[in-house]
Structure 1
Amino acid sequence: MSYKDRKVITIGIVSELTGLSERQIRYYEERKLIRPERTPGGTRKFSFADVEKLVQIANHMEDGLQTSEIRRMEQKALRKDKELRERMLRGQLNAAFPQRNK
C-alpha cells in the first residue's frame, strides 16, 4: 500500500491542509464523495489521496457543480479506468498466448 493511501490523517489536519471546514468535509462524506476510515472510537482517518480528492471536490463545487454531478463524474471515470484495465489485460493475454490459425 502506498503512503498516499494510508488512512492516518485526522479531520482537523485535513481541514488545515485543504482550507475546507470540518463541516464541509463531513458533508462530502455524507454525500458519498469521500470515505474516511473510522477508528474504534469513531475518529475519522483520511489519506493523502483523500486530501487530494477533497481539493478536487472543492474546485468542482467552486465551478458550480452539484455533489450529484461530481459523483456521476467519478463513477464514469471509474468505469473508464476499469474498461481500460480490462482491455490492457486482454492485450497482455493475447500477446502471451497468441491465437493460432487452424
Structure 2
Amino acid sequence: MGEDTSYKSRKVITIGVVSELTGLSERQIRYYEERKLIFPERSERGNRKYSFSDVETLIEIANKREEGVRTYEIRQDMIKKNNLAKDEKLRNKMLRGQINARFGIQKNQ
C-alpha cells in the first residue's frame, strides 16, 4: 500500500483557517508544532499547511489539555499509538505472507 492520499491527509489548509476551525490561537498551534505534536508541511514561501487529519489531531490535543494532560504525556501517547499501528501493519504483512506461502499464492497474481 502507498501513502494515504485521501482528502483528509492532503496538507492544504492555512494556519488561519485551522485556527478558526479549532478555536486555537495561531500561537497555540505553533506551540504544538514545537512540542512535536503536529507536523505541518511548508509551502515554497514557508507558510504552514495542514490537513483535515491535523485539524482533528489539534482538537484532540486541545481537549486533552483542557483535561489537564501535559504536552509531554500527549506526545508519549502519540508515540505509543504510532508504534502499535506500525506493529499491527507488520503483523498483518507477515500473516499475509504466511497465508500466501501456505496456499502457494504468487504476489504477481
TM (normalized to structure 1)? Answer: 0.92
Count of matched residue positions in the alignment of Structure 1 and Structure 2: 99
1:11 matched to 2:32? The reply is no
The runs of 5 or more residues in structure 1 that have no matched partner are none
1:23 matched residue in structure 2: 27
How do 1:30-69 residues align onto structure 2 when only pairs under 5 Å count?
Answer: 30-69=34-73
Partner of 1:84: 88
Q: Secondary structure at the match of 1:89?
A: helix
Q: Please give the alpha-carbon distance, in whole angstroms, between the structure 2 residues aligned to 1:94 and 1:46.
A: 39
More helix by share: 1
Q: Which runs of 4+ in 1 moved over 3 A?
A: none
Measured against aligned partners, the alpha-carbon deviations of 1:27-82 in whole angstroms (never above 9, x if no partner) come to 00111110111112111110101000100111111111111110100000011111
Residue identity opposite 2:22 in structure 1: T
Q: Which amino acid aligns with 2:10?
A: R
Q: Residue 93 in 1 paired to residue 100 in 2?
A: no
Identity across the alignment (%): 56
TM-score normalised by length of structure 2: 0.87
After superposition, the CA RMSD in angstroms is: 1.1
